[in-house]
Amino acid sequence: MGSMKVENNAANVEGFEHCLDGIFSKVNKLEKRVNEIERFYGTANDTQLNTPKSSSVVKDKVKEKHLSCIEKQQQDAFNREAAAAKRMQELMRQFEKILRHITQHKWAHPFMHPVDVDGLGLHDYYEVIEKPMDFSTIKNKMDAKDGNGYKNVREIYADVRLVFKNAMKYNDDRNDVHIMAKTLLEKFEEKWLQLLPKVAEEEKRWEEEEAKSQIDMKLAQEVVHANMARELSNELFEIDMQLENLRQTVIQKCRKMSTDEKKKLGTALTRLSPEDLSKALEIVAENNPGFQPTAQEVDLDIDAQSEITLWRLKVFVHNTLRLAGKCSEGADHPTKSNSKRKGEISNAVSKNAIKRSRKATPNS
């Protein structure tokens, strides 16, 4: 008969450990997801968008949308970039007309190709001119398809001005090349002023779309993390319920501790370190409000304690002494990495409120 009880107890313990392993695994996974959400909102608070569209009212409305809005925002961003690229191509096409008008002028030939520094004996050219530029180089860059070309019209405009500015800088203002460059630059600026309103309009539109895209993407990310937080809340509640059910099961399974077991428990308590003994006294105080675990002298009456307190003490003392014994054996007998966490969860099973792992501290 005794052997059957032992087998039943062993089976019960094994079942409890299996449940704790499952809960322990879930808690680890949930903890990672909680950290991800905390990081997101921590970053969001540091870079809060100063715009009416990011108000709490708008956020609450956006958070009600489906998670697929992120995919929609990504697709919208792709479409905006494609439309902007198409509009920029049209601006570049109009700019090419200006460029042809300038390069077909009878005075444009000195600027069509790189300056023949060696052939003309211009030994100080690179000392005066930091960045040489010419129309053939501009044309090649405009035709480039490998990502090294111009990204917008203003970049081309800057290089065209540089062609003439270099010529005017290197040559004296009475030199023919200086005069030709100055004349062509004036003609170019006149044409550019006609195109400039369209360029400015496109730049403003692009900035507004980029700002809106950033806001929409941020709000879409908040939708995802808000839903993640809601799901985590539900899953954490389920774990709380599982722990509560396990606690109730443990209470129901608790038999009365024998006199001999109480004596052994009292002896084992004397083997605890001062820190661990303080933790054990805290366990007693949790179900005994009148007990003062931090008093100078503590009178612990084992027989006066409830069964749940006694069994909690037994589990705590057993795990603590076992861990201390294994640690003293050295590296040849390593403990399981999660033994401490399991002990904490075992300790939490018999509590009314389920909490995540924490360090026990004496009551003040």
Q: Give residue for tokens 């969860």.
A: 345
- What's the CATH number for 259-349? 1.20.1270.220
- Write the single-letter amino acid at 332: D
Distance CA 187, CA 179 (A): 13
Could you tell me which of 187, 206, 223 has the C-alpha nearest to residue 66?
223
Distance CA 291, CA 299 (A): 9
- The model's pTM: 0.45
Under 8 Å between Cβ of 309 and 284: yes
Say what the pLDDT of residue 363 is. 38
What's the angle, vertex CA 209, arms to CA 204 and CA 214, rounded to 5?
130
336 secondary structure, DSSP code: P
Least confident stretch, 36-45, 61-70, 139-148: 61-70
Domain boundaries, the chain: 2-67+218-253, 69-215, 259-349
Tell me the CA distances in angstroms from 126 to 131, 135, 243, 281, one per residue in order. 8, 18, 79, 85
Band of residue 217 on the pLDDT scale cut at 50, 70, 90: confident
Distance CA 46, CA 206 (A): 26
In CATH, the architecture of 69-215 is: Up-down Bundle (1.20)
Could you tell me which of 267, 245, 253 has the C-alpha nearest to residue 318?
267
Angle between helices 135-143 and 153-170 (to 10 degrees): 160
**The pLDDT of residue 137 is above 90:** yes
Under 8 Å between Cβ of 127 and 151: no
The per-residue pLDDT for range 229-287, each reduced to its tens digit, is 788 778 878 887 877 777 777 666 666 888 888 889 989 988 998 888 888 888 888 87
121 secondary structure, DSSP code: T
Say what the pLDDT of residue 13 is. 58
Say what the pLDDT of residue 130 is. 95
Distance CA 94, CA 113 (A): 23
The per-residue pLDDT for range 100-129, each reduced to its tens digit, is 999 999 999 999 999 999 999 999 999 999
CA atoms within 13 A on the CB side of 179: 3
Band of residue 336 on the pLDDT scale cut at 50, 70, 90: very low
First to last CA, the chain: 48
Say what the pLDDT of residue 333 is. 47
- Write the single-letter amino acid at 52: P
Say what the pLDDT of residue 76 is. 67
The per-residue pLDDT for range 337-354, each reduced to its tens digit, is 445 544 544 444 444 333
Give how far the C-alpha of residue 12 lies from the chain's centroid of Cα atoms, to the nearest Å: 42
Give me the percent of the chain exceeding a pLDDT of 90: 26
Kindly give the residue spans of alpha helices, DSSP state H, lying in the chain: 2-46, 56-63, 69-103, 125-128, 135-143, 153-170, 176-253, 259-269, 274-286, 307-328, 339-349
Give me the mean pLDDT over the 326-339 stretch: 53
- Write the single-letter amino acid at 186: E
Distance CA 179, CA 173 (A): 7
Give me the mean pLDDT over the 18-38 stretch: 72
Tokens of 77: 């961003």
Q: Which residues contact 273 (CB under 8 A, 6 or more apart)?
A: 324
Distance CA 35, CA 44 (A): 14
Distance CA 175, CA 182 (A): 11
Length of the chain: 364
Q: 295: alpha, beta or left, given left = phi > 0 and alpha = psi -120 to 50?
A: beta
